[in-house]
Chains A and B, each alone.
Chain A
Amino acid sequence: MEYTFSSGAKKFIIALIVAGIAFLGLGLLLDGHHTYIDKDLSLGQRIWTDLLGNGFFFFGISLGALFFLALQYAAEAAYTIVYKRVLEAVTKWLPIGLGIIVIVILAGMAHQHHIYHWMDPKVYQEFLPDGKTVNPDYDHIIAHKSNYFNFGDGDGYVHLIRVVAFGLIFVYFMSKFRKNSLLEDEEGGTRIHFKNITSAAIFLVLFGYGSSILAWDLLMSTDVHWFSTLYGWYVFAGFWLSSIITTIVLIVYLQSTGKMAWVKKGHLHDLSKWMFALSFLWTYLWFAQFMLIWYADIPEEVAPYVARIQDYKVLFFGMMLINFVLPMVGLMDADAKKKKGLITVIGCIIFITHWIDVQLLIIPSSMKGEGQIGLVEFGFFFIFLGAFLLVTLKALAGRPLLVKNHPYLEESKNLYH
């Protein structure tokens, strides 16, 4: 019943982190001799950019799992109950991910990096201190958005407060769902089940606002002159998909160690259908955003796409094509969705390309044309992945793999044979 954190898994995680540190060290050595043409760019900027990109990516995976969990509560669905504990374990990273994001924002407010251009107080002053000379750094577009970010200067806290508030709301619901799940095992009955439905409904409303606003605040504001209305959904579709893939891979791993025999092929088939469908949702939103901007061709709207297509063409279109074509061709057949090996391989590939997707939301804005996805970036990816798996597997090992006393447990178990 219980999962014990095996030494093989520990070795794998240590290997990931060591590989990450090796990549990072090598990357830093090579980057040390690199001189950037743009004087705003530096090695520090690159490191903070990667911290934000990886911080958000893994924060999003936890948030996606939390959303999926709440969705099942609110919909009173039975088919996820047999692997509910895996979903709960994936949400465990949430506070750590939030912490890393907050550190990056605080560092920006202390002017350690320039990922967020609007944190610069100079852009808000129309005139230099003498009151007559026009400030060359003044940016009227950012100045008009100052109420949203920081009330008219570079040091306001509005943005930080908003991110922390939504983050803490999500963390609160995460710990509540996790606590209730254990409580239900002991208590039985339906009291907690109905309580969970109510809190899941409240969470979903808050999540609807919070996920979009976090996407604007953390990612879209790196291109502060630009905005897109469906950006929040686009980011959300991506991290929801990543969290489904994480769940699938964890279940396949647990089954390979002989655990979780109660998760049948049909249950995995359900998750693969989500993976298939969400790939299409993500591509649909990618294209909806791209096509309208491409067609209208308004200079201030196309700027971020110009930056991405000029300097990151292969990565930008490559990751889109892989994320669209690979699941479409590989997972279209119903039998293919039930093959553990196939869904794991496809899942891992699109997991990495979705990581590239998130990096490409930030790197071209903060590193301009001089960024890259190289050794430093992959180093951070491996370190974060290792740490994420460590936290998730520890959370899995802490409690039984199957819930007891959930009202839908029997239905869920007998759904497939």
Chain B
Amino acid sequence: MSTVIYAMYDDDHVLLDGAKKVVSKGIQVKDVFSPFPIHGIDDVIGVRKTRLAICAFIYGLTGLSLALIGMRYFMIVDWPMNIGGKPNFNLLQNLPAFIPVTFEFTVFCTAHGMAITYFLRNKTLPGMKAKNPDPRTTDDKFVMEIHVDEDKEQEMISLLKETGAIEINKKKA
């Protein structure tokens, strides 16, 4: 049986130092809940590097290709239009005219794709139930989540108190 301990802090620097101490004892910090990003916390608790950038690149490429394929079809293959006498025989000749739309569509796909991926991955899409342990972490409190075996529970709690936690809650896993 293991226990989930939630240690609450009222200062991000105290939490950062506390997390360093806990990690140096060889205990894994499962997660940290905070109203804003805490600088340096990723390295301390060993969060894996985000792969969102790779997604962004793929979404961007998708937008770029879709825009170019679309405009080639609309403006050159299906219904060539003569706008100001600009060449409409092939894509490359008319490329300067298509760049603004391509650029905008790439940004559109990247931004929306990233935002939706982010919400999905965090399970925070509109209508989903919030899963943070304490609603105060969306305001001015910081919570550190730690999983320990039941027999080491008391030892862990006293260690966390030492690091400056103001409140400790636990829950059976």
- Chain A residues with CB under 8 Å of chain B are 287, 290-291, 294-297, 332, 334
Contact = CB atoms under 8 A, between A and B. Distances in A.
Nearest to B40: A417
Contacts of A290: 96
B96 A297 contact: no
B85 A295 contact: no
17 contacts: A287-B96, A287-B99, A290-B96, A291-B96, A291-B97, A291-B99, A291-B100, A294-B96, A295-B84, A295-B86, A295-B96, A295-B97, A296-B84, A297-B84, A297-B85, A332-B57, A334-B53
Contacts of B96: 287, 290-291, 294-295
What 8 pairs between A and B have smallest CB-CB spacing?
A: A291-B96, A294-B96, A295-B97, A295-B84, A287-B99, A297-B84, A291-B99, A295-B86
A291 B96 CA distance: 6
A interface majority secondary structure = helix
A80 B11 CA distance: 28
Nearest to B49: A334
- Listed residue (B57, B96, B97) with the most chain A CB atoms within 10 angstroms of its CB: B96
B165 to A, nearest CB: 26
B interface majority secondary structure = helix
A20 B84 CA distance: 48
A294 B86 CA distance: 9
Given A287-B96, A291-B97, A296-B84, 4 more contacts: A290-B96, A295-B96, A295-B97, A297-B85
A160 to B, nearest CB: 38
Contacts of B85: 297
A294 B53 CA distance: 35
Contacts of A296: 84
B96 to A, nearest CB: 5
A336 to B, nearest CB: 12
Interface in B37-86: 53, 57, 84-86
Contacts of A294: 96
Nearest to A332: B57
